[in-house]
Chain A
Amino acid sequence: MSTVVETHDHGHHGPAKGLTRWLFTTNHKDIGTLYLWFSFLMLFIGGSMAMVIRAELFQPGLQIVQPEFFNQMTTNHGLIMVFGVIMPAFVGLANWMLPMQIGAPDMALPRLNNLSFWLLPMAFGILISTLFMPEGGPNFGWTFYAPLSTTYAPSTVNFFIFSVHIMGISSILGSINIITTIFNMRAPGMTLMKMPLFVWSWLITAYLLIAVMPVLAGVVTMMLMDINFGTSFFNAAGGGDPVLFQHVFWFFGHPEVYIMILPAFGIVSHIIETFSRKPIFGYSSMVYAMASIAVLSFVVWAHHMFTVGMPLAGELFFMYSTMLIAIPTGVKVFNWIATMFRGSITFETPMLFAIAFVALFTIGGFSGLMLAIVPADFQYHDTYFVVAHFHYVLVPGALFGIISGVYYWLPKWTGNMYDEILGKTHFWLTFFSVNLTFFPMHFVGLAGMPRRYPDYALQFADFNMLISVGAFIFGLTQLLFLFIVIKSIRGGKKARAEVWEGAENLGLEWTIDSPAPYHTFTVQPQVK
């Protein structure tokens, strides 16, 4: 890739002391840490909601919660995982790693960076507090279709809308920061096509975010107006159209799901390269593939709406465009495997998660391809088959990408190797339970169980019980992950600057000490 002139940082001053350090920090490492801990907390909160859902679905009948509350659980589980876990975790990894990977001392707009983070606890505080209000929290699904989410929503929907606006602002400001940093602060010699793939993945993701978060802001504002100011954007009585909501929402929603996976693609490329001891196969194709996925993501949105009554030509168009996305995605999968092929492979924890990512994300991709086929989708739509698909691409997809990134970079952040045996245990338990939880969902969906159901017909009982057991194991296992992270912060085998064998040539982050000093690259390195 490139050789690098060593620079050693001598920090002028360390971090501030006390709690105010975290409130006022403008340091990208601190802010990265804040995002990551926030997202870890949200993982447990959103995860608890999943546990409530799976506890109710353990058996047919209503045992634990009533449908009113169940609908709040499904809705908030989705909102928290999407906006509170996956997105902030990737932003946290971006904050920590992007400046170091491009040889910059910090992000371009450090104070804006601080604001971008602190907006999130505010937004989620508002959202979660609605669950404790008398009318209950949002109960219309994370996709909040009108008119269920407008005319028929509890009045707490206004807090929900406010909360979504704040999350959107946080993402937009963060993305402006990321793009500006990447364009303007790269070390001399680092041309765009020499950038690490994680940096590329975030450049593309940040553009997607600034393109579609404003559209989400628009659609929730329209909702607000329909609910409170008598407009009829989505109200047929006034000449509006509930289906318009779906079009505008999914115009945001589809790029959103690529926002949630692209950074994982970047991370996994780094990890496979490192642990195969071989350069990533097809670097430029990887870049072009991510860019084409991003561009294509704008023209596939109606594949979420195949049963809404679109005319034949529309349905066929979206079928073809959706199938097309399989091509650049497939190219990436082939390239990861071609990197492993004739490499020299070891199986540390990050690599285990990355390999599982490739295999299981691909399975999610297969069910995605099946869903793209419109006539077949008539039988899949709004069933557990869809739930299986998106959980495969999000959990052993995006989440495994995040977890593998955490294991990969944790020694750089803390200066200590995490406990490898515990890490592998975490991996195998997670791998087993993730599949036990989400694989049977394919079957139960094909057999006819719809989604967002608190209760179901008897033929779905056996698989549902298995799924619930898997989910409980998965949830408990993440407590082990928490333990591993805390343990590694507090001590462990000392990590070298390079951490992983041969990594020194793989990225600028491996040329600085572990733990990384508070201020790094205060003098720009030269990149050849």
Chain B
Amino acid sequence: MESKKTIRNLLGIVVCMFAFGWLLIPIYDVFCEITGLNGKVTGPSFLSESSKAMEQREVLIQFMTHNNESMPWTFESEEVQMRIMTGSQQEAIFVFKNTTDREMIGQVIPSVSPGRGAEYFHKTECFCFERQTLAAGERIELPVRFIVDPALPKEIGSLSLGYTLFDITDQFTKKDKIANL
């Protein structure tokens, strides 16, 4: 019956659209990476040759730290803001302290504002997206080393870097439990 062909094609569309829904995840990530939308910055990145040759200018960089929910650690940046020149290597120090009496794991998620400035913020070293395990009472200092690309559009006079610290201890104890099943 000719209906069978129609039905097969329609089911095909259904399957493809279901797959497309899932593909939206990586598509979204790629799109955000390319355009820096959403202030998402993933990992270290470096200056291009043409950028290195561009004129430098002063930019204000602000650091904001924030603990998500009830994350009890102390999490602060030593400098709240700094005026720096584009094209030059910079460093900002962040202090982490586990103020509880048990070992915990934290993870910092960065966010850059304005979003389209994210692609011009090159981090050569950062603790973002890395698991930080701190013993009870332990305190550490970690740097973010970065260079602001001289190609940063003129309209952007300051970049605000937000760092949100999440408590991910449970996710690892849960996973261990599942692994042991």
Q: Which residues of A contact B (CB under 8 A)?
A: 108-109, 172, 175-176, 179-180, 183-184, 210-219, 222, 230, 233, 236-239, 241, 243-244, 247-248, 251, 309-311, 314
Closest residue on chain B to residue A218 by CB atoms = B21
- The CA of A243 and the CA of B111, in the complex, are separated in Å by 13
- The CA of A216 and the CA of B14, in the complex, are separated in Å by 11
Q: Are B37 and A311 in contact (CB under 8 A)?
A: yes
Q: Are A247 and B37 in contact (CB under 8 A)?
A: no
18 A-B residue contacts at CB 8 Å?
A179-B10, A210-B14, A211-B13, A213-B14, A214-B15, A214-B21, A218-B18, A218-B24, A236-B68, A238-B107, A239-B109, A248-B21, A248-B24, A310-B37, A311-B35, A311-B114, A311-B115, A311-B116
Mask, B13-44, CB within 8 Å of A = 1, is 11101101110110010000001011110000
Residues in chain A near residue B116, CB distance under 8 A: 311
User: Is B102 an interface position by the 8 A CB rule?
Assistant: no
Residues in chain B near residue A216, CB distance under 8 A: 21
Q: Are A251 and B6 in contact (CB under 8 A)?
A: no
Closest residue on chain B to residue A169 by CB atoms = B14
Q: Are A210 and B10 in contact (CB under 8 A)?
A: yes
Q: Which of B126-181 contact A (CB under 8 A)?
A: 129, 164, 166-168, 171, 174-175
Known: A179-B10, A243-B38. 4 other contacts (CB 8 A): A216-B21, A218-B24, A310-B37, A311-B35
Known A218-B22, A241-B40, A309-B115; judge A211-B17 contact (CB<8 A): yes
**What's the least CB distance linking A169 to chain B, in Å?**
10
Residues in chain B near residue A238, CB distance under 8 A: 107, 168, 171
Residues in chain B near residue A222, CB distance under 8 A: 22, 25
Q: Are B21 and A230 in contact (CB under 8 A)?
A: no
Contacts between the two chains (Cβ within 8 Å), count? 92
- The CA of A109 and the CA of B107, in the complex, are separated in Å by 53
**What's the least CB distance linking A240 to chain B, in Å?**
9
* Tally of B interface residues using CB under 8 Å: 37
Q: Are A180 and B7 in contact (CB under 8 A)?
A: yes
Q: Which of B107-128 contact A (CB under 8 A)?
A: 107, 109, 114-116
**What's the least CB distance linking A83 to chain B, in Å?**
18
Residues in chain B near residue A175, CB distance under 8 A: 10
Residues in chain B near residue A215, CB distance under 8 A: 17-18, 20-21, 24
Residues in chain B near residue A108, CB distance under 8 A: 3
Q: Which of B85-119 contact A (CB under 8 A)?
A: 107, 109, 114-116
**What's the least CB distance linking B131 to chain A, in Å?**
11
Q: Are B109 and A217 in contact (CB under 8 A)?
A: no
Closest residue on chain B to residue A229 by CB atoms = B178
- Of B17, B40, B109, the contact of A212 (CB 8 Å cutoff): B17
User: Is B49 an interface position by the 8 A CB rule?
Assistant: no
User: Is B2 an interface position by the 8 A CB rule?
Assistant: yes
Q: Are A230 and B175 in contact (CB under 8 A)?
A: yes
User: Is B54 an interface position by the 8 A CB rule?
Assistant: no
Closest 10 CB pairs of A and B: A218-B21, A237-B166, A214-B18, A215-B21, A214-B17, A176-B10, A180-B6, A184-B3, A180-B3, A108-B3
Residues in chain A near residue B39, CB distance under 8 A: 309
